[in-house]
Amino acid sequence: MKGMRLGLVITALVILIASPLVEPRLLAFPYEKTIGADRVYSVGPLADASLAPILARANRLAHSSPLAVGAEGRNIYLTGGGWRWHWLAGSSQGAFALTRALQEAVIVNRTDLGRDRVFNGAPVAGMRTLSGVIAHEKCHGMVRRHFGVLREASTPLWLREGYCDHVAGESTLTDAQARALEAKGQQVPAIAYLRGRERVDAALAANGGSVDALFDQVR
């Protein structure tokens, strides 16, 4: 009987911890706003004057991809980089944002809406535009929908992340910044993303912009 009770307690704790990963709203985001097809949940106030242009740019970028279908609306959670981020990000603590397959909610680290910025806390390559990051994360969902979850997960990082940075129209580092870091032997994840984007840019330019051909080259 003791073992059964312990099992029930452990199961309840696992459900309590895991439930927000499936439904982040359980972490009680106090502010909420719907703009177009996107619904934004935030730990801080949401002003249309700041948020609307960010989402408009993010959606323009997302729809630059031929994989876009319809409005590509998402639930977007601005965690402020605090305990909600630590709970939801799991092993991706150093990311700017993340999405999970099937749910496709966009979970975002610390932001500055007034400046269209998101921060990951890194001393190097620690800031990007929030609009570009949202477009990047929406693109991951578009790739999963078009090619399938398993194929997307097995795609090399340079292609998976490089294509999403291609759609976002930016990377965390410029080529000059990446070269300077490489010259010092300083490796940061943002370099791989930039180099992936450069390969994607070149491949799409060479194949006439076919995303299917781009991804088929690594099958």
Check residue 7 and give its pLDDT. Answer: 53
Residue 154: what pLDDT?
A: 94
All structural domains of the chain with their residue ranges: 20-216
- Evaluate if residue 10 carries a pLDDT over 60: no
Q: Is the dihedral of CA 219, 210, 146, 89 positive or negative?
A: positive
Per-residue pLDDT reduced to its tens digit, 183-217: 999 889 999 999 999 999 999 999 999 999 999 99
Average pLDDT over residues 170-190: 94
Q: What is the pLDDT of residues 16-61, one digit of tens each?
A: 445 666 789 889 899 999 999 999 999 999 999 999 999 999 999 9
Report which of residues 67 and 104 the model is more confident about. Answer: 67
Question: Which of 102, 147, 128 has its CA nearest to residue 197?
Answer: 128
Could you tell me the pTM of the whole model?
0.91
The CA-atom distances, in angstroms, between 185 and each of 69, 123, 181, 191 are 42, 16, 6, 12
What tens digit of pLDDT does each residue of 112-170 get? 999 999 999 999 999 999 999 999 999 999 999 999 999 999 999 999 999 999 999 99
Confidence band, pLDDT 50/70/90 cuts, at residue 11: very low
| pLDDT value of residue 3 | 60
Confidence of residue 2 (pLDDT cuts 50, 70, 90): low
- Top-tier CATH class for 20-216: mainly alpha
Q: Which element (helix H / strand E) includes 54?
A: helix 48-62
150's CB contacts (< 8 A; 6+ apart) are none
- Which pLDDT score, from 0 to 100, does residue 187 have? 86
